[in-house]
Structure 1
């Protein structure tokens, strides 16, 4: 099976956010593929909604054999397994969450359907914290 290099962005602003990220990364490695690089963890204020809970965020690059939709389905199961109840892609609004995992890039693929858009335009171009994480992870991977 062919492997695809995928960039994911993870965020958490409920409970012990750093532990939530570590648990999510462990589940990603068990269920999706080999993590090649991790960015530093950065903290950010909520975007597009109001909350007193700041986010812990991390980016990672991994290899996976799964197609974009299969990958999305596994990610949604991980989020649910960790206790995420509401999905902003369904509710159309953002709330606090124990874990959020977004597919930012999937190799050089351009993919657009009702469930998923790759690349994830907001993370690549509109959100400052995302750009910082993605720049740091790209520099890590280029050193390898």
Structure 2
């Protein structure tokens, strides 16, 4: 069980921001543990997800999309490349840039990580009925600024 207790203290349960942070922390911990078995960290998952969504994106675009520090991004991409999960190719329109792509192994690892993430959903959100989870997801997207 995460955090030693399945419920925060009642006085804190009255504070929406605290509850959002508490559930977020539980979710981050469970997610990190689920993908760690695949040799991934959450930032790597985020980068691989963005590269998968936009193959050939430039490194600076990836930095902007993930808000990962540029120097951290270089080291992370070096690690993904060394692990055979991603590769840098010459950019089609700018020879100063590299186009980022997942390898076949990277695509399969990302699929496995997504399955692991879906599997940990019950650990964090298992108290919700499927309709409630869908509504929570919709409300979080709305709060984050998505227009659905």
Query: When you count helix as a share of all residues, which structure comes out higher?
Result: 2
Q: Which has the larger radius of gyration?
A: 2
Query: When you count strand as a share of all residues, which structure comes out higher?
Result: 1
Is TM-score (shorter-chain normalized) higher than 0.5? no
Higher RCO structure, 1 or 2 (CA under 8 Å, sep 6+): 1
